[in-house]
């Protein structure tokens, strides 16, 4: 079963780039600035620069995996390369990764809202409402998701620019001094998480790439890498602003430093406490990252089960995601600790090792076929 049998329509290269940018920013814009600041202190901005450069290289890895079978998703490609049984095991593991990540995103949404905006609202109610919107988008299909991203993308960029301009008068460049005080090791430690969240988790694009417009596929690599770089640039900007405006101590002490950062906006004693700007940006970016994971989960499971329709799976998956999002973590402090220490290794297993495994397996299979063909030609001679 090919990918196109489950999903009608294609998305343009521009829409794909927009999705990559939004997914790169994702949930990272809210929680990420604190993590490199914990490790590298005032050198967190260097962590951001280094991570964007290294993380963007993963785009070439994902492109290398996809270009071997451009009409297949990661699930179909795994079975094609590894065989039915081993391919099914790998597919199940990857779908489990998508499922756990989806539950974590949903929990992050609930924790943020109940902590900062809606403290009297049950977290379950927030999860159900947000998930219903996501499931509706998944059922409408990738084309509708991409068009919606195209509509909201300019607004997200405008809000990021507004946040930057409004906070520049409060930036203190002495907050980033002394440079490289702790050496290179803290920068490398901080980069692990900064590379994992925005860039490694973009492995989900391997479930989307088969639906990119056929005529534009020659430019997919540049589009993917450019989207990762632009998304990373936004994260670099927010991380640097957090250090310049809040300082290292305040940045590391807050669970959501960028949200706290927006509270510092003060234009003429008239426009103040504009934290809603960061909240809106975060809602938009995490929505599209979340919806891509639920979409990839639905499509992948349908392909593995050889179903002709994936939409029937969305509601059952949603019903499982709700309780899983509650039990995945006892509280927000636990979740953030796990995400900082252990989650990068979890991401690397499926976002780095799995693609490398598939590439190596494909190369070995190609070499074996060539040897068999050479032996067959020798026998004929």
Residue-range domain boundaries for the chain = 9-380
Residue 378: what pLDDT?
61
Gap between the Cα atoms of 269 and 56, Å rounded: 40
pTM score of the predicted model: 0.92
The pLDDT tens digits of the residues spanning 38-85 come to 888 888 899 999 999 999 999 999 999 998 888 889 999 888 888 888
The answer to whether residues 23 and 231 touch, using CB atoms and an 8 Å cutoff, is: yes
What is the rounded average pLDDT of the residues 146-151? 94
What is the rounded average pLDDT of the residues 349-369? 88
Residue 164: beta bridge partners?
Answer: none
Nearest partner of 67 among 211, 217, 205, 292, judged by Cα: 217
Residue 8: what pLDDT?
58
What is the rounded average pLDDT of the residues 318-325? 92
Nearest partner of 231 among 23, 9, 10, judged by Cα: 23
The answer to whether residues 278 and 167 touch, using CB atoms and an 8 Å cutoff, is: no
Residue 321: what pLDDT?
93
The pLDDT tens digits of the residues spanning 281-304 come to 888 899 999 999 999 999 999 999
| Planar angle of CA 271, 236, 28, nearest 5 degrees | 85
Gap between the Cα atoms of 347 and 353, Å rounded: 9
Gap between the Cα atoms of 184 and 186, Å rounded: 6
pLDDT over 90 (residue 103): yes
Residue 4: what pLDDT?
45
Residue 379: what pLDDT?
62
The pLDDT tens digits of the residues spanning 151-206 come to 999 998 998 898 888 888 888 888 888 888 888 898 998 898 899 989 999 999 99
The listed CATH number (1.10.260.40, 2.60.120.380, 1.20.1740.10, 1.10.10.10) that belongs to domain 9-380: 1.20.1740.10
Gap between the Cα atoms of 350 and 93, Å rounded: 8
- Confidence class for position 366, pLDDT limits 50, 70, 90: confident
What is the rounded average pLDDT of the residues 2-10? 58
Residue 372: what pLDDT?
67
Residue 223: what pLDDT?
92
- Confidence class for position 380, pLDDT limits 50, 70, 90: low
């Amino acid at each position: 079963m090919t990918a196109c049998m489950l999903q009608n329509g294609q998305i343009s290269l521009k829409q794909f780039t927009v999705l990559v940018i939004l997914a790169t920013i994702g949930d990272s814009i809210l929680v990420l600035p604190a993590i490199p600041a914990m490790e590298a202190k005032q050198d967190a901005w260097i962590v951001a620069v280094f991570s964007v450069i290294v993380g963007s290289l993963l785009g070439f890895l994902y492109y290398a995996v996809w270009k071997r079978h451009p009409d297949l998703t990661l699930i179909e490609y795994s079975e094609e390369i590894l065989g039915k049984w081993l391919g099914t095991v790998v597919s199940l593991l990857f779908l489990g990764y998508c499922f756990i990540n989806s539950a974590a995103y949903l929990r992050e949404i609930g924790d943020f809202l109940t902590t900062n905006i809606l403290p009297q609202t049950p977290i379950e109610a927030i999860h159900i409402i947000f998930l219903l919107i996501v499931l509706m988008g998944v059922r409408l299909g990738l084309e509708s998701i991409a068009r919606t991203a195209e509509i909201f993308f300019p607004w997200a960029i405008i809000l990021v620019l507004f946040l930057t301009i409004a906070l520049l008068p409060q930036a203190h460049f002495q907050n980033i001094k002394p440079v490289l005080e702790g050496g290179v090791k803290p920068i490398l430690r901080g980069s692990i998480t900064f590379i994992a969240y925005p860039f490694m988790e973009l492995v989900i694009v391997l479930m989307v790439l088969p639906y990119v417009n056929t005529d534009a596929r020659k430019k997919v690599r540049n589009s993917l890498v450019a989207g990762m770089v632009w998304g990373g640039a936004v994260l670099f900007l927010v991380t640097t602003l957090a250090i310049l405006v809040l300082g290292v101590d305040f940045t590391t002490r807050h669970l959501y430093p960028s949200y706290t950062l927006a509270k510092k906006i003060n234009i003429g004693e008239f426009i103040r406490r504009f934290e809603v700007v960061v909240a809106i940006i975060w809602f938009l970016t995490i929505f599209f990252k979340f919806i891509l994971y639920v979409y990839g989960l639905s499509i992948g499971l349908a392909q593995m089960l050889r179903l002709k329709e994936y939409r029937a799976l969305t509601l059952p998956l949603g019903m499982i995601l709700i309780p899983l999002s509650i039990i995945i973590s006892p509280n927000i402090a636990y979740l953030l600790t796990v995400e900082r220490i252990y989650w990068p290794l979890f991401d690397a297993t499926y976002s780095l090792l799995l693609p490398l495994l598939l590439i190596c397996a494909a190369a070995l299979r190609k070499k074996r076929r060539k040897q068999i063909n050479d032996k067959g030609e020798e026998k004929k001679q």
